[in-house]
Amino acid sequence: MGEKLFYSANLFVISKKQNDMKKNFLFLVAMVWMFTSCIHDDFDKPEPYVPHVDFKSNMTIAQLKSLYQGTLLKLPDSIIIQGIVVANDESGNFYKTLEIQDNTGGIEVKIDKTSLYTSFRVGQRIFIKCKDLYLGAYGGLIQLGYIHNNDIGRIPAVMMADHIFKDSLPGVSPAPIKVDIPSLNPALLSMLIEIDSVSFATPGLPFAESTSTTNRIITDKNGNQLIVRTSNYANFASTPIPEGTGNIRGILGIYNGTYQLYLRDLNDLVNWNNPNPSQNYLLNEQFFTNPTNWIIYNVSGNKDWYYNSGYQCMTINGGGSDVGCEDYLISPQITIPSGVNAILSFDSWTRYVDNVTAKPFSVLITTNYTGDPTTTSWTELSATLPPSDSQTWTNSGNISLSAYAGQTIRIAFKYKSTSGNSGEYSAWQVDNVKITK
């Protein structure tokens, strides 16, 4: 009997403990639910932080730039400017740089910090307190920065918070200023511009070579040209340049008197129309560098074809030779596919007059180059050439190579002079040699 009572008492104790544990568990569940509910209520929709300055600008960008008189200038305490970010370093084509503008002008702000785009988006309004900052210029482009080796440099990253202030959230970028190439002027430097109806001279090539910042050329319908400059670190550097015609936007720069356009990214190519998307080049030689795959062959005289790095073309000038010159500039071999009407075109330029030599300059083609142009059978091609001593670049026109479909060819530019010492010679240049299919 005593054992039964003991057993019943133990059951009562165990049952009571189980009930207590259930109550505790339910209490904990209720507390967790209440706690998470509070967190949800407090943090579900945090208020966004909107930066705001409590001061005003007192000088326009144009007025600030007018203070620069050709020598490095330390700015006084009182100057404050404001502007909208129109370009940053997101694509890699602007390095440690912000381009800002107001309705009077634009200026390049140099900052010793990468990934600026994470804080300064295009469309962000900023104010800059210019106390102890510097105005200087690089290649004629006025910049706002700090002193470095007695010249204009970048604002140290540790100084940014004392000088550069965001105001409001990023908005819409200012509309680009519509302009044509002949109307470019210093007031547009470091501003976002747009030029209508242009085409690239070198479609199919990358925007930049892998080893260096690269200049490419755009041309409008009237033949006016402008450099498009792209860093090899830009994330679109290796992208092939499009064919056809379109509008182009970018930040206008200048270097030693020559205007240059910098794309922010490929979205700056607008309404690009490629009329021949399947067209490609069998040969596209712009002579941006010394061509190692072309043959320079001297038959007589002491003057050769040479690479003219200043004008980025091939040049020959028989002046100063004691005998008449005969020289060949020969292309690499090109195979024209069967059934293709390939087209040859090039630009040429000439100066001085050779009244003795019948053909100072001629364009030749062969299907069987022997290694010696004097023993090779050549056929002369008909091309439009500049008048004697015109000093005007002239396009050859479209030269059909349909007769050479399915064959491997070489093109040669042959030069002759009578004597450089007697004044019977001419000078010639060749550029933009293309064979399209």
Query: Which residues are bridge partners to 109 per DSSP?
Result: 98, 144
> What's the full length of the chain, in residues?
437
Domains 61-167 and 177-276 share a fold: yes
Cα–Cα distance, 84 to 70 (Å, whole number): 26
Q: Please, where are the H alpha helices in 325-395?
A: none
- Entry pTM: 0.59
Listed by start position, the domains of the chain span 61-167, 177-276, 285-436
CATH homologous superfamily for the domain 177-276:
Nucleic acid-binding proteins (2.40.50.140)
Cα–Cα distance, 188 to 410 (Å, whole number): 46
Decide yes or no: CATH 3.40.50.720 for domain 285-436: no
Cα–Cα distance, 244 to 222 (Å, whole number): 15
Q: Which of 298, 303, 300 is nearest to 319 (CA)?
A: 303
Q: Beta strand 125-129 with 80-87: parallel, antiparallel or unpaired?
A: antiparallel
Cα–Cα distance, 386 to 371 (Å, whole number): 30
- Amino acid letter, 157: A
pLDDT at 313: 92
pLDDT in tens, 86-145: 999 999 999 999 999 999 999 999 999 999 999 999 999 999 999 999 999 999 999 999
pLDDT in tens, 296-347: 999 998 899 999 988 889 999 988 777 889 999 999 999 999 998 999 999 9
The one-character DSSP state at 194 is E
CATH of 61-167, one of 3.30.470.20, 2.40.50.140, 2.40.50.100, 3.40.50.300: 2.40.50.140
Cα–Cα distance, 325 to 300 (Å, whole number): 5
